[in-house]
Amino acid sequence: MQDYSKLPDAPRAFGFHLDGAWVPKGSRDWIERTSPAHGVRVTRVVHCTLADLESGVRAARRAFRSGVWSEVAGAARAGVLLKAASGIRARLDEIAYWETLETGKPISQSRSEIGGAADHYEYAAGVARTLKGDAFNNLGPDMMGFVTRQPIGVIGLITPWNFPFIILAERIPYMLAAGCVIVAKPSEFTSASTLIMAEILTEAGLPKGVFNVVTGYGADIGQAMTEHEDIDVLSFTGSIGVGRKVLLASASNLKKLSLELGGKNPQIVFADADLEDAADGIVFGLLFNAGQCCVSGSRLIVERSVAGRLEELLRDKFDRVRLGDPLDPKTQVGAMVTPEHMKKVLGYVQKGIEEGATLAHGGQSYGAPCVQFVQPTLLTGVRNDMTVARDEIFGPILTMIEFDTLDEAVEIANDNILGLAASIWTKDLDKAMKTMRRVEAGRTWVNTTIAGGPELPIGGFKQSGSGRETGVYGVEEYTELKSIHIALGKREHWVG
């Protein structure tokens, strides 16, 4: 039995999960994961072959056609989803531990994400029972109309490394509530919790073939999934570059796409805001998951008259936030996912300085317990045309831009190809609502940031993606609408 406060003696090895059962590695290669925070090998997953992917898609299609899930009552689907939620809660310590070792995120955060994940399964169980269509009784005496929803079919689910378990939970239970079947490919860096989820779903009574996991790299397994002609929908969360590839590859069979891509999310702070609250929210929004978060509020747009005061408050919070070993329950900010990613993030700091920004805080890597951490960093004097204000950095780097009027704040906020999320800080309700309406972002927060849950949909405007996940919206996304006209009485013949 693993002691969850200590590092494992040897990497935990996983098979992959097909047609309701574990498949052992056999002659395939391992993909090994080193804990970004500790520099030791923690897990091994199988580098699946394209033949394994074929087996997964075939198992899924078989399950879908059999009706064993797609045709059962919503109540039966709800029963499985509720048992899955209990299964997640029962294994919370275990899932959180491997999630932290693979991602580098603080254990307290992993635990709260796993609890939140269970909540999604419980909520989706309710939606499974309430999903319904429409009836048209206004088509005249000889006609009735119905609109029904039915599951689309086989879904390919490709997920990233930053929130491996909660991103799954924002999708799987809603896809299952709709009656669909799934072939999932987690990130090659963070596959453990997806594999554990497959076991939990099987134990919860999900029929075989309804949820399958094929582990491997994006360039082979991921790309093959996007091109696959027997996958009806592809749900992809990841970088914009790969999102474009997914879009092009989907032409193979014109599959439906749900894309959640990057964000360069503005935090707009007006002079009348509660600045203490705003500073705390901004620091949380930036440092949550060490900034490796698609809705990270990394682009601070602050009214000029309070910029100095806000900067003081931010620097004070940056000094006091607890960085370090993610297995320590007190740690608030953990490690960068890979050395390459850390290098990229630090490269942006240099680029910002070269383009004329001032390094007001941080800007360095630091080593505790191993050197894969980046200090909370503040760049001031930033203009919106600088690279650091335009690109998604995906690290704990905050850029500060000043404004004088509401129009100017909105213009700066919207001057980006991305539109995933935005936060607005003000005590003036009119100002908050007017700004909220004009900001081009799929998720908008007023006097808070990164709030979420199963009820409200997630997804982006502009190049941040398409489609919506979670809640009723997330279930509807994975259904086809069918229109049915029913003629009443004797037909008036066309050919007399």
**Which sequence positions are flagged as catalytic?**
260, 294
User: Is residue 397 close enough to count as binding ligand TXE by CB under 6 A?
Assistant: no
Return d(Cα 2, Cα 99) in angstroms, integer.
14
Q: Which residue from 4, 299, 288 is spatially nearest to 162, judged by alpha carbons?
A: 288
User: Is residue 259 close enough to count as binding ligand TXE by CB under 6 A?
Assistant: no
User: Is residue 218 close enough to count as binding ligand TXE by CB under 6 A?
Assistant: yes
Question: What value does the CA radius of gyration of the chain take, rounded to a whole number of Å?
Answer: 24
Count residues contacting ligand TXE (CB under 6 A)?
26
372 to each of 6, 38, 160, 396, how far by Cα in Å?
19, 9, 19, 13
CB of 99 to ligand TXE, least distance (A): 15
Choose one: 47-55, 254-262, 426-434, 449-457; the region binding ligand TXE (CB under 6 A): 254-262
Q: Which of 56, 87, 104, 160 binds ligand TXE (CB under 6 A)?
A: 160
**Helix, strand, or coil (residue 128):** helix
User: Is residue 158 close enough to count as binding ligand TXE by CB under 6 A?
Assistant: yes
User: Is residue 285 close enough to count as binding ligand TXE by CB under 6 A?
Assistant: no
CB of 422 to ligand TXE, least distance (A): 15
Return d(Cα 301, Cα 384) in angstroms, integer.
10
Half-sphere exposure of residue 314, counting CA atoms within 13 Å on the CB side? Answer: 31
CB of 110 to ligand TXE, least distance (A): 16
User: Is residue 195 close enough to count as binding ligand TXE by CB under 6 A?
Assistant: no
User: Is residue 459 close enough to count as binding ligand TXE by CB under 6 A?
Assistant: no
Q: Which of 164, 262, 334, 376 binds ligand TXE (CB under 6 A)?
A: 262
User: Is residue 466 close enough to count as binding ligand TXE by CB under 6 A?
Assistant: no
Contact (CB, 8 A) for 300 and 389 = no
CB of 427 to ligand TXE, least distance (A): 31
Cis peptide bond prior to 369, omega within 30° of 0? yes
User: Is residue 187 close enough to count as binding ligand TXE by CB under 6 A?
Assistant: yes
CB of 47 to ligand TXE, least distance (A): 12
Choose one: 69-77, 206-214, 235-243, 439-447; the region binding ligand TXE (CB under 6 A): 235-243
According to DSSP, the residues that pair with 423 across neighbouring strands are 267, 445
CB of 161 to ligand TXE, least distance (A): 6
In 170-246, the DSSP E strands lie at 181-185, 211-213, 233-237
Question: Which residue, chain included where needed, has tokens 């070993």?
Answer: 325
User: Is residue 242 close enough to count as binding ligand TXE by CB under 6 A?
Assistant: yes
Nearer to ligand TXE, 161 or 318 (CB): 161
Contact (CB, 8 A) for 385 and 365 = no
Contact (CB, 8 A) for 389 and 395 = no
Contact (CB, 8 A) for 456 and 470 = yes
Choose one: 3-11, 22-30, 153-161, 326-334; the region binding ligand TXE (CB under 6 A): 153-161
Q: Which of 121, 348, 394, 478 binds ligand TXE (CB under 6 A)?
A: 394
Q: Which of 70, 162, 416, 449 binds ligand TXE (CB under 6 A)?
A: 162
Tokens of 283: 């620091």
Return d(Cα 475, Cα 469) in angstroms, integer.
8
Q: Which residue from 293, 237, 283, 295 is spatially nearest to 442, judged by alpha carbons?
A: 295
Q: Which of 124, 178, 231, 294 binds ligand TXE (CB under 6 A)?
A: 294
Nearer to ligand TXE, 207 or 266 (CB): 266
* Cα dihedral across residues 129, 130, 132, 134: positive or negative: positive
264 to each of 298, 299, 362, 460, 480, how far by Cα in Å?
7, 7, 20, 11, 32
User: Is residue 245 close enough to count as binding ligand TXE by CB under 6 A?
Assistant: yes
Q: Give the binding site for ligand TXE (CB under 6 A).
A: 158-162, 185, 187-188, 217-219, 222-223, 226, 237-239, 242, 245-246, 260-262, 294, 392, 394
